[in-house]
């Protein structure tokens, strides 16, 4: 994913005149591009990973032959990002590697009264230590579909949004 040493990202930022977010400066600092043979090996690993995941997705087919339309998953391990507290891209980076379609929509807001849980290790304690700061911040999910399924995922997103906004359940439709 970063085979060019982030030169393309830096070039695009320079063209736009937009500064890189402080939280991303470390992740996208310039470095030497990887050697061609190393890049080729990485590309083959990614190809194999995509094939394995496509096989897994295909394995969800029911008796009617239809596979899962989409996967709902967290957009991040926290509510909206507080500057300086971005931790990792694990929830989105894998989707980028797979070249899958993803749509993030807000589904609720953090609530300091009900979002109380014991921290599990250092990462989650970053999000439970300051419930006051996160209170009211939007919480999103990402709706993930396969390659070239943008239209389908947008429609599923509209459907999820309708269910959330109207208070309907699947049984009411």
The answer, as to whether pTM is greater than 0.85, is: no
Residue spans of alpha helices (H) in the chain: 7-16, 22-25, 36-58, 90-98, 121-128, 131-134, 150-166
Does residue 37 sit within a domain? no
Residue 12 located in a structural domain: no
In a domain, 41, yes or no: no
Indicate whether 56 belongs to any domain: no
Total of domains in the chain: 1
Q: What is the extent of the structural domain holding 123?
A: 69-173
Tens of pLDDT, residue by residue over 95-118, are 999 999 999 999 999 998 988 766
Instruction: For residue 16, tell me if it sits in a domain.
Output: no
Does residue 103 lie in a domain region?
yes
Q: Is the pLDDT of residue 128 over 60?
A: no
Q: Establish if 2 belongs to a structural domain.
A: no
């Amino acid at each position: 994913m970063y085979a060019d040493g982030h030169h393309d990202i830096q070039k695009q930022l320079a063209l736009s005149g937009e500064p890189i977010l402080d939280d991303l400066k470390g992740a996208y600092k310039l470095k030497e591009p990887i050697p061609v043979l190393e890049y080729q090996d990485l590309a083959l690993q990614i190809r194999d990973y995509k094939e394995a995941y496509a096989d897994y997705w295909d394995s969800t087919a029911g008796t009617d032959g239809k596979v899962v339309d989409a996967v709902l998953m967290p957009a991040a391990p926290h509510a909206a990002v507080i500057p300086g507290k971005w931790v990792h891209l694990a929830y989105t980076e894998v989707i980028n590697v797979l070249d899958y379609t993803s749509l993030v929509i807000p589904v609720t807001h953090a609530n300091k009264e009900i979002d109380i849980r014991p921290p599990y290790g250092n990462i989650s304690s970053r999000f439970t230590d300051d419930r006051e700061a996160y209170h009211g911040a939007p919480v999103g999910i990402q709706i993930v579909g396969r390659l070239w399924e943008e239209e389908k995922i947008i429609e599923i997103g509209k459907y999820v949004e309708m269910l959330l906004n109207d208070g309907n359940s699947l049984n009411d439709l």
